[in-house]
């Protein structure tokens, strides 16, 4: 059996999806970053199903999605003046803010933390859905835990199948990498995960240089887990442009041109050389290589400026050796 997929631009589909959310069901929906697997954030039973379907460990909190920044007070007291400034500039858009939570937000959503991750997605179908549901929507990326995030409705349907009540198809995701997560929970703002809003833009808005959190022993974001966003095929990042193909069935994730011949499969991320194009293509290209029966994927590196930061972050986490932990269990599914 496969998932039910409806076109996201049809008002009747949005209404039906909103009704599914209101009665505690799960809806996969497009955002500008990646597809999300949504549940009513105030319904702990629905949220529990999200964890189950993704095989996601419960120490890993979910991002709460709002239709509008004006709804922020439903999940966070947010007295911080930096919040309104950032919201005005970057919402709707690929920025998640980690803020003090309201006690009404279920513990399962925040993994018992005293903070909540919040964002207003830019995709019109996402906002229409949340608006119509009349409730904030908790949504992780719509993939099994640890695997590459889906950027099309077809990926979602393949990865999660009938475990999802409804999939809204809004076409391929425009940004292609997940939101940047910025924590405003402590004195100093910290980037917990590089993503769709470049660090440089946040630094300019806040007027401070930003730290990017390292890999703590107990991760606050699985974005912080060393092995994450991973293909099942081993992946190695090359030191520079690709050379001749090594022995075996080796695939190439190339930056601007297809590179030398001899690779069993090749994907070009950015024929125009722009990191925005590369980010939009990244996860779909990784999935195609991952399903091509390869022994190894070699990836060309890119400049770590703007979205290049998020791209290299995802590639490094895909490259990291498996750790004994939930990510590894999910990879065996
Ligand atoms: O672009 C995105 O952010 C996508 C779309 C669907 O919105 N969502 C997404 O969700 O990437 P997920 O669950 O795959 O990653 C969310 C990250 C996790 O690493 C989680 O640990 C972190 O957000 N997070 C959520 N709430 C947090 C909190 N209170 N403190 C620290 N990290 C938090
Ligand atoms: Mg994810």
- The pLDDT score that the predictor gives to residue 227 is 75
Ligand closest to 92 (CA) is 1
For the Cβ of 98 lying below 6 angstroms from any atom of ligand 1, the answer is yes
Give the mean pLDDT of 173-197.
96
Q: Which of 252, 209, 43 is nearest to 138 (CA)?
A: 43
For the Cβ of 122 lying below 6 angstroms from any atom of ligand 1, the answer is no
Rounded to a whole number of angstroms, the distance between the first and last alpha carbons of the chain is: 18
For the Cβ of 150 lying below 6 angstroms from any atom of ligand 1, the answer is no
Q: Per-residue pLDDT tens for 48-106? A: 999 999 999 888 999 999 999 999 999 999 678 999 999 999 999 999 999 999 999 99
For the Cβ of 151 lying below 6 angstroms from any atom of ligand 1, the answer is no
Q: Which pLDDT band, with edges at 50, 70 and 90, does 210 fall under? A: very high
CA of 136 to the centre of ligand 2 (A): 18
Q: Cα(309)–Cα(196) distance, rounded to whole angstroms? A: 10
Q: How is 72-117 classified by DSSP, letter by letter?
A: GGGT-----HHHHHHHHHH-SSSEEEEEEPPTTS-HHHHTT-SEEE
**How many distinct helices (H) and strands (E) make up the chain?**
10, 15
Residue 326 has pLDDT above 50, yes or no: no
Q: Per-residue pLDDT tens for 248-282? A: 999 999 999 987 889 999 999 999 999 999 999 99
């Amino acid at each position: 059996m496969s998932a039910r997929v409806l076109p996201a631009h049809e008002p009747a589909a949005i209404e039906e999806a909103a009704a599914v959310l209101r009665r505690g069901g799960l809806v996969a929906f497009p955002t500008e970053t990646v597809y999300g697997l949504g549940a009513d954030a105030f319904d702990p039973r629905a949220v529990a199903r999200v964890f189950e379907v993704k095989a996601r460990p419960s120490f890993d909190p979910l991002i709460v999605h709002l239709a509008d920044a004006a709804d922020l007070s439903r999940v966070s007291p947010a007295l911080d003046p930096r919040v309104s400034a950032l919201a005005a500039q970057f919402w709707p858009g690929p920025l998640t803010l980690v803020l003090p939570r309201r006690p009404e937000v279920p513990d399962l959503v925040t993994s018992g933390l005293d903070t909540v991750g919040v964002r207003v997605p830019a995709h019109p179908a996402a906002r229409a859905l949340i608006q119509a549901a009349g409730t904030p929507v908790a949504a992780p990326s719509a993939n099994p835990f640890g695997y590459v995030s889906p950027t099309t409705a077809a990926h979602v349907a393949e990865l999660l199948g009938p475990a999802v009540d409804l999939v809204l198809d809004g076409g391929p995701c425009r940004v292609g990498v997940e939101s940047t997560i910025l924590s405003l929970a402590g004195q100093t703002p910290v980037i917990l995960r590089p993503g769709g809003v470049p660090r440089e833009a946040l630094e300019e808005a806040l007027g401070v240089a930003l730290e990017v959190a390292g890999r703590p022993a107990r991760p606050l974001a699985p974005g912080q887990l060393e092995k994450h966003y991973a293909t099942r095929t081993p992946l190695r990042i090359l030191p520079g442009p690709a050379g001749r193909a090594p022995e075996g069935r080796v695939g190439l994730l190339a930056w601007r041109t297809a590179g030398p011949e001899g690779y069993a499969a090749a994907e070009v991320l950015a024929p125009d050389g722009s990191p925005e194009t590369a980010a939009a293509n990244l996860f779909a290209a990784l999935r195609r290589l991952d399903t091509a029966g390869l022994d190894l994927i070699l990836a060309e590196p890119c400049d770590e400026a703007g979205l290049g930061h998020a791209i290299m972050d995802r590639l490094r986490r895909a490259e990291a050796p498996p750790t004994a932990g939930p990510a590894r269990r999910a990879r065996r599914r």
